[in-house]
């Protein structure tokens, strides 16, 4: 590859390399200029937020050379690029990550000192994080973008620039209260609006047939409504490389032209109506994680960002004079769940209706470029669109889907003659009840690969979710176990551990996590284990002070920090953890607690606003916390904390501070989990079920270094198929009966016997997530944990082995697998030169 020449912008003129200078003087100068010229502030009166903005702009300047160079490389030498389509990108704070990846953290600290700021963290803390995702799925997309850039793979993340991200969570009287997330209010310095690359998107209307110039009948769409997508690009720099990929988020704007007619005839408000309607498109993120709402606006959002993104990809070919028939050689389109699955129909429509390509050729292009990642087996999460809603909003897409479906069913008829059952079962259209479009079927039929996100999950996709599809196309089905980026989740989040790792194995672990295996040599080295424990203690002190500031609760950093942070969901079983706490509380009250392992049990997570049970679980945890934390008998033994507003920023504080990671979902329900990985890397031990990636984690760290409990997926299936009755498990366990009785009498609700009744009724009634079935085993395993805690040396050894053996969960490994087995793309290094000698 030819290097990117810094003199390129204007012939005979070169960019001042000082402008991209990486020393603290250059950063200081950049900050000063931005304070003055961009922000209109004097250095003498700059607030921490002003300094955050100035430093961010100066850092962004230093990304631009790499960002433009990365685009030039692709323009000059076309090569396949990854398009990662996702309705969510939960990218977290940007300043610290960019400083780390550029390698100028120290320089920034020095520059800040000249403004009288002694610690970088005071500036990092004022950064508002864009909450453009709900949980695991959105965070995974962000880790993957960071790994793609770090591996020097050309990639674009396509998504939506929500004006309001996931709500901020307050806790009032123990209940969750949702507050609008106005993340843009102070200005967000990391995006580059590119209005000249805007796209039109249609909605509604009708289809019509017409005769083209060759006299051939064709179909076309006459939408009744339009929106404009304006790209807002966020540079995504790789770790210590020049590759700077792009996250392209679309903001919906109103169209103007259309409204003038209405305006002229005096219907002013009618005219602004469409404007308002299209502006609301990218207003707000749907706050559900793992439940499908089936709302019209949500389908509009999906089609909006998918259409803009595909048009953008096609346009990029045109700009480079590449025929659109070459699409699949230049773009590999990954669908992050079914949220962007309309892409299958939209790409067909664009190829056929706009580019006049024939069906078979278009279908070949589509199925060679699109791949689909499934993230859940839960039926309530599988997207289905009501047929009437769908045909109303996307009539041409429905026609195309019918055609795709008809051809697919023809294929099936040949293979299974006379078997109408299987046709009904696999059809994209669900004919039962009120008819609907099954997006997972559309994605599976339109994709060349479909993957699950952990070994067990991928296996269950084949065995339970889509068995007939897997039999039809065994080669399509594959697994890519999730991963998380070690840059954010270890290097940034846990500097004291990172220093120790660097001292021990050298700096390369950050890009080659398998090097951490070398730490195994230190597993019996008492001094080293002591140092390792010190890093954990530092994290715990920081979290303890955070907890005190946010909740007023005092916790002891030498107690066992037992943490469950994730979205609140019944299948994740925060209530199982809560019941266990009550059992320990009872033992302490009764004087039957036979070990001394002081614990601080910490929860964090948001509940979907419409998910009543999840909200009640939050109230339940807070009810327990109130009783436990105000009881003098619990002093020095037990503390319970619900941390409000769990997000990326808070995760960075929590993971390094955790001794025990709770991964206790009902086996078969958690597709992968990614928090489990972040905890293990940071030296937490896991108590968990054989679910999602826990299975692989336990294999890797070895079973003696993992606290396993609970029924397996097949045992759960067996219980379910043999009329599971929670009562039989309750009858066998007197301690569980006591726990239930205490809740019943209102002990955790100030005597209110009604408050937690829905929760109790669910648990003792049909117990859909087998909490009662796993309770006793869980409690016993927690006792084992407590006993083990008192042997600090053994604990530290086990924790060290978790860090040493969790390198597999680096998202670099996941991305390498996607590149090799699904995308067929290879890295493309970016070089930059500025030979000043030559021009002066
Ligand atoms: C979401 O965060 C996940 C799955 C979904 O279907 C939706 Br919608 C949102 C999560 C899974 O629950 C996790 O188990 C998984 O680790 C994560 O996606 C990333 O794959």
Task: Give the model confidence (pLDDT) of 270-319 as tens digits.
Answer: 666 666 666 689 999 999 998 898 899 999 999 999 999 999 999 999 99
Q: Which atom of ligand 1 is nearest to the CA of 673?
A: 16
pTM more than 0.80: yes
Residue 762: inside a domain, yes or no?
yes
CA dist., res. 770 & res. 576, Å (int) = 10
Q: Residue 91: enclosing H or E segment and its boundaries? A: none
Does residue 652 sit in helix, strand or coil? helix
Instruction: Return the number of other C-beta atoms located less than 10 Å from residue 245's C-beta.
Output: 28
Indicate which residues carry an active-site annotation: 375, 566-567, 572, 674, 678
Does residue 681 sit in helix, strand or coil? helix
Residue 546: inside a domain, yes or no?
no
Do 838 and 725 belong together in one domain? Answer: no
CA distances 769 to 306, 445, 724, 782, Å, are 35, 31, 11, 20
CA dist., res. 537 & res. 540, Å (int) = 5
CA of 136 to the centre of ligand 1 (A): 5
Instruction: Return the number of other C-beta atoms located less than 10 Å from residue 671's C-beta.
Output: 30
Do 707 and 790 belong together in one domain? Answer: yes
pLDDT of residue 40: 96
Copy the structure tokens of residue 728. Answer: 């039989």
Choose among 690, 729, 742, 747: nearest CA to 713: 690
Residue that is last in its domain, among 447, 479, 511: 479
CA of 286 to the centre of ligand 1 (A): 15
Instruction: Return the number of other C-beta atoms located less than 10 Å from residue 257's C-beta.
Output: 7
Choose among 583, 604, 587: nearest CA to 661: 604
CATH label of the domain that carries residue 244 = 3.40.50.2000
Question: Token pair 């469950």 is at which residue?
Answer: 564
**Is ligand 1 within 6 A of the CB of residue 21?**
no
CA of 376 to the centre of ligand 1 (A): 6
Do 677 and 701 belong together in one domain? Answer: yes
Do 156 and 282 belong together in one domain? Answer: yes
pLDDT of residue 840: 42
Residue that is last in its domain, among 454, 479, 504: 479
**Is ligand 1 within 6 A of the CB of residue 691?**
no
pLDDT of residue 274: 63
Let me know: does 568 contact 618? Beta carbons within 8 Å. yes
Residue with the nearest Cα to atom 8 of ligand 1? 290
Residue 618: inside a domain, yes or no?
yes
CA dist., res. 279 & res. 285, Å (int) = 14
Do 639 and 710 belong together in one domain? Answer: yes
pLDDT of residue 837: 54
Radius of gyration of the chain (CA): 28
Residue 498: inside a domain, yes or no?
no
Distance of CA 419 to the CA centre of its chain: 40
Choose among 185, 156, 175, 189: nearest CA to 70: 156
Residue 488: inside a domain, yes or no?
no
CA of 453 to the centre of ligand 1 (A): 9
CA dist., res. 549 & res. 594, Å (int) = 33
Let me know: does 606 contact 287? Beta carbons within 8 Å. yes
Let me know: does 6 contact 86? Beta carbons within 8 Å. no
3-state secondary structure 618-675: HHHHHHHHHHHHCCHHHCCCEEEEEECCCCHHHHHHHHHHCCEEEECCCCCCCCCCCH
Residue 576: inside a domain, yes or no?
yes
pLDDT of residue 232: 98
pLDDT of residue 389: 97
**Is ligand 1 within 6 A of the CB of residue 671?**
yes
Residue with the nearest Cα to atom 7 of ligand 1? 290
CA dist., res. 686 & res. 315, Å (int) = 48
**Is ligand 1 within 6 A of the CB of residue 483?**
no
Do 732 and 615 belong together in one domain? Answer: yes
Ranges of the chain with pLDDT below 70: 1, 7-20, 256-279, 835-840
pLDDT of residue 290: 85
**Is ligand 1 within 6 A of the CB of residue 288?**
no
Do 284 and 390 belong together in one domain? Answer: yes
CA dist., res. 341 & res. 371, Å (int) = 10
Residue with the nearest Cα to atom 19 of ligand 1? 137
CA of 778 to the centre of ligand 1 (A): 24
pLDDT of residue 111: 98
Residue 249 main-chain phi, psi, to 5 deg: -105, 130
Does residue 576 sit in helix, strand or coil? helix
Residue 51: inside a domain, yes or no?
yes
CA dist., res. 747 & res. 745, Å (int) = 6
Do 582 and 697 belong together in one domain? Answer: yes
Do 788 and 714 belong together in one domain? Answer: yes
CA dist., res. 583 & res. 599, Å (int) = 13
CA dist., res. 809 & res. 140, Å (int) = 12
CA dist., res. 491 & res. 496, Å (int) = 9
Residue with the nearest Cα to atom 18 of ligand 1? 137
Let me know: does 482 contact 677? Beta carbons within 8 Å. yes
ipTM greater than 0.95, yes or no? yes
Cβ-proximal residues to 780 (8 Å cutoff; 6+ apart), any chain: 709
Q: Which atom of ligand 1 is nearest to the CA of 289?
A: 9
Do 208 and 163 belong together in one domain? Answer: yes
pLDDT of residue 832: 87
Overall domain count for the chain: 3
- Domain that residue 364 falls in: 80-92+129-169+178-479
Do 183 and 326 belong together in one domain? Answer: yes
Residue that is last in its domain, among 431, 447, 479: 479
Do 149 and 281 belong together in one domain? Answer: yes
Residue 484: inside a domain, yes or no?
no
């Amino acid at each position: 590859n030819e290097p990117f020449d810094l003199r390129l912008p204007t012939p005979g003129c070169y960019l001042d390399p000082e402008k991209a200078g990486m020393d603290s003087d250059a950063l200081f100068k950049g900050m000063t200029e931005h304070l003055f010229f961009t922000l209109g502030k004097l250095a003498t009166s700059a607030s921490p937020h002003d300094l955050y903005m100035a430093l961010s702009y100066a850092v962004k300047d230093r990304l631009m050379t790499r960002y433009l160079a990365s685009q030039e490389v692709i323009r000059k030498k076309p090569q396949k690029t990854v398009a990662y389509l996702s309705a969510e990108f939960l990218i977290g704070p940007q300043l610290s990550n960019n400083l780390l990846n550029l390698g100028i953290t120290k320089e920034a600290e020095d520059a800040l000192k000249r403004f009288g700021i002694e610690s970088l963290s005071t500036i990092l803390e004022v950064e508002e994080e864009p909450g453009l995702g709900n949980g695991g799925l959105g965070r995974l997309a962000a880790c993957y973008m960071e790994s793609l850039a770090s591996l020097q793979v050309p990639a674009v993340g396509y998504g939506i620039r929500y004006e309001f991200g996931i709500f901020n969570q307050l806790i009032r009287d123990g209940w969750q209260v949702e507050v609008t997330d106005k993340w843009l209010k102070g200005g967000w310095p990391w995006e580059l609006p590119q209005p000249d690359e805007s796209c039109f998107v249609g909605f509604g209307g009708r289809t019509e047939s017409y005769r083209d110039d060759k006299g051939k009948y064709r179909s076309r769409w006459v939408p009744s409504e339009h929106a404009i997508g304006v790209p807002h690009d966020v540079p995504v720099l790789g770790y210590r490389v020049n590759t700077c990929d792009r996250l392209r988020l679309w903001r919906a704007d109103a169209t103007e032209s259309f409204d003038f007619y209405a305006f002229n005839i005096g219907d002013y408000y009618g005219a602004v109506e469409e404007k308002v309607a299209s502006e609301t498109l990218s207003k707000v993120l749907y706050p559900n994680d793992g439940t499908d709402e089936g709302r019209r606006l949500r389908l509009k959002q999906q089609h909006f960002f998918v259409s803009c993104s595909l048009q953008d990809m096609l346009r990029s070919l045109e700009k480079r004079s590449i025929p659109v028939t070459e699409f699949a050689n230049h773009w590999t389109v990954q669908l992050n769940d079914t949220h962007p699955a309309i892409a299958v129909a939209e790409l067909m429509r664009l190829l056929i209706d706009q580019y006049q390509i024939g069906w078979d050729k278009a279908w070949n292009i589509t199925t060679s470029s699109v791949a689909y990642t499934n993230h859940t087996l839960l039926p309530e999460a599988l997207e289905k669109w009501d047929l009437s809603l769908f045909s109303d909003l996307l009539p041409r897409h429905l026609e195309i889907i019918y055609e795709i479906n008809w051809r697919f069913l023809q294929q099936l008829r040949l293979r299974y003659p006379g078997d109408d059952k299987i046709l009904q079962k696999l059809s994209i259209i669900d004919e039962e009840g009120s008819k609907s479009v099954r997006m997972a079927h559309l994605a599976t039929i339109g994709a060349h690969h479909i993957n699950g996100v952990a070994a067990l999950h991928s296996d269950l996709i084949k065995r339970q979710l889509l068995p007939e599809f897997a039999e039809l196309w065994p080669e399509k089905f594959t697994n890519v176990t999730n991963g998380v980026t070690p840059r954010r989740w270890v290097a940034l989040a846990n500097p004291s551990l990172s220093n120790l790792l660097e001292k021990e194995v050298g700096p390369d672990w950050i890009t080659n996590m398998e090097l951490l295996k070398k730490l195994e040599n230190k597993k019996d080295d008492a001094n080293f284990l002591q140092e390792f424990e010190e890093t954990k203690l530092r994290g715990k002190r920081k979290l303890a002070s955070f907890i005190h500031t946010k909740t007023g609760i005092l916790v002891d950093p030498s107690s066992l920090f037992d943490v469950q942070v994730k979205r609140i969901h019944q299948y994740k079983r925060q209530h199982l953890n809560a019941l266990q706490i009550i059992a320990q509380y009872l033992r302490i009250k009764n004087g039957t607690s036979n070990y001394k392992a002081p614990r601080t049990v910490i929860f964090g997570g948001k509940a979907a606003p419409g998910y009543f049970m999840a909200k009640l679980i939050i109230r339940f945890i807070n009810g327990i916390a109130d009783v436990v934390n105000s009881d003098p008998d619990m002093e020095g033994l037990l503390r319970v904390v619900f941390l409000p507003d769990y997000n990326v920023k808070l995760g960075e504080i929590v993971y390094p501070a955790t001794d025990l990671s709770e991964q206790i979902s009902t086996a078969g329900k958690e597709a992968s989990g990614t928090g489990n990985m972040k905890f293990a890397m940071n030296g937490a031990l896991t108590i968990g079920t054989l679910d999602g990636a826990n299975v692989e984690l336990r294999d890797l760290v070895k079973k003696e270094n993992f606290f396993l409990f609970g029924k397996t997926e097949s045992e759960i299936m067996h219980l379910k198929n043999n009329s599971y009755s929670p009562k039989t498990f309750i009858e066998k366990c007197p301690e569980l009966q006591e726990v239930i009785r205490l809740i019943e009498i209102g002990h955790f609700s100030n005597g209110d016997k009604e408050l937690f009744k829905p929760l109790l009724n669910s648990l003792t009634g049909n117990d859909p997530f087998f909490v009662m079935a796993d309770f006793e085993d869980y409690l016993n395993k927690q006792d084992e944990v407590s006993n083990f805690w008192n042997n600090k040396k053994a604990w530290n050894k086990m924790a060290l082995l978790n860090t040493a053996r969790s390198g597999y969960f680096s998202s670099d490994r996941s991305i390498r697998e996607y590149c090799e087995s699904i995308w067929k793309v290879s890295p493309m290094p970016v070089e930059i030169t500025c030979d000043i000698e030559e021009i002066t």
